[in-house]
Amino acid sequence: MGAKVIAGVVAEFNPFHSGHARLLERTRQAGATHIVAVMSGQFVQRGEPALLDKWTRARAALSCGADLVLELPLPYAMATAQRFALGAVGLLDALGCVDLLSFGSDCGDLDRLKACIRLLNAPRFPQALGQFLDRGMTFAAARQQAVRELGGAELAATLGRANDILALEYLAALEQLGSAMAPLAIPRRGAGHDADRPQGGFASASCLRQMILEGQEEWQTLVPSRALPLYREAMGRGMGPARLKALERPILAAVRTLTREGVQQLPDLSEGLENRLLKARGAASLEELLGEIKTKRYPLARVRRLVLSTFLQVRGDLALARPPYLRVLGANRRGFEVLSRAKDTAQLPLDHSLARLSRRVPEAQVYLQTEALAGDLWALALPKVGPAGLEYTHPPVFLREEDGGPQ
């Protein structure tokens, strides 16, 4: 491959939008010749089904600047920010040939982010954190207050912005893994992470999802031109948009049949959360269920993940270790160059086929079974129930040269 620089990015691409395109463009401007994206599959970290299927989203990413798309297995894709980041960065590190880890940041200041990490790891920090947790604050709020007390308002502000919070988790994951990948912080611009309206021609993924689900046509002017026909085509054949509300009855059924032993197998559980979930089993709607479990200490996204994990039968221990395989969702010519190098450098089995991975990696079977079930259940969230078995039958997305993004 010669003097190539391979960068990794982590994203849900739910859906791929102009902000993602800018991240990839700025990553190339920083010297990357090849970009590997680790992407969530059919369910995302908010505790919701992805709007469009993973292959459509992978094709959009490959058409707009990514070269290789790997799947983040479900137990990490639907985990806490810490586990999400550790799983995704772990996959990029396991390729063995990624030089840079590129990520969006609200502040765009790597030194400030690193200073915040040092403070979070300081011996005096747990005591400061504990005093705010004892006041009944959420972990996120308590952590921010502890940083404000020990490091000042500027560092604390970093923990109040969604992209900087994830950036900190990426840096922490690099440190925990002892990874040689160099961090690259790309300043964000335009609409914020969860902004509910477009700003400066940019719309957040949250805003786009809302527009699409509400049938507003404006979303079509706010996504990259190469992605738009892919989204239209997918929705035209019924492969989106997926809605959490469509899963209401099967989710309620899963929760009503839950036992105390079953609850204890779920991810990100605490005793208080366990009891609230069990007490809410009689809820008559998804809104009622989430409302009965949610508190100031247990925010809605965490509760949605817990409830969805019940429905998807996600075991809590699966996200505690490093992912055991690398699954390819798609690639273009440059992506195949990365795969060629990874044959010699990858520290984990690498394939696009769930069936082959299952045969090759016995310890991965529970992950692969979880992924396959999630794919089948995601199809229930579509406007018209979709087919089962796609995890084993859908081909990966391999693009010809002329179909890809910037060459």
C-alpha 222, offset from chain centre: 21
CA distance 20 to 105: 12
- On whether the CB atoms of residues 289 and 254 are closer than 8 A, the answer is no
213-228, pLDDT tens digit by residue?
Answer: 999 999 999 999 999 9
CA distance 176 to 103: 17
Outline where 43-99 has alpha helix (H). 54-63, 74-77, 81-95
Which amino acid appears at position 357 of this protein?
L
CA distance 133 to 333: 50
Note the pLDDT of residue 64: 97
CA distance 276 to 105: 35
Query: Which residues of the chain does CATH 3.40.50.620 include?
Result: 6-106+181-243+319-403
- On whether the CB atoms of residues 84 and 167 are closer than 8 A, the answer is no
CA distance 176 to 31: 26
Which amino acid appears at position 73 of this protein?
P
Q: What residues form the annotated binding site?
A: 10-23, 104, 163, 188
CA distance 303 to 217: 31
Tokens standing for 331? 């690639």
Predicted TM-score of the model (pTM): 0.94
Strand-pairing partners, residue 327, are 351
Reported as a pLDDT band with limits 50, 70 and 90, residue 3 is confident
Question: 109 pLDDT exceeds 70?
Answer: yes
- On whether the CB atoms of residues 142 and 132 are closer than 8 A, the answer is yes
Q: What residues form the annotated binding site for ATP?
A: 10-23, 104, 163, 188
What are the residues whose beta carbons fall under 8 Å from the beta carbon of 399, sequence distance 6 or more? Answer: 59, 62, 63, 330, 331, 332, 333
256-306, pLDDT tens digit by residue?
Answer: 999 999 999 999 998 789 999 999 999 999 999 999 999 988 889 999 999
Within 10 angstroms of residue 172's Cβ, the number of other Cβ atoms is: 19
157-169, pLDDT tens digit by residue?
Answer: 999 998 999 999 9
CATH topology of domain 6-106+181-243+319-403: Rossmann fold (3.40.50)
- On whether the CB atoms of residues 31 and 5 are closer than 8 A, the answer is yes
Reported as a pLDDT band with limits 50, 70 and 90, residue 190 is low
Question: 86 pLDDT exceeds 70?
Answer: yes
Note the pLDDT of residue 188: 82
Tokens standing for 142? 């308590």
Locus of tokens 């490959």: 62
- On whether the CB atoms of residues 337 and 4 are closer than 8 A, the answer is yes
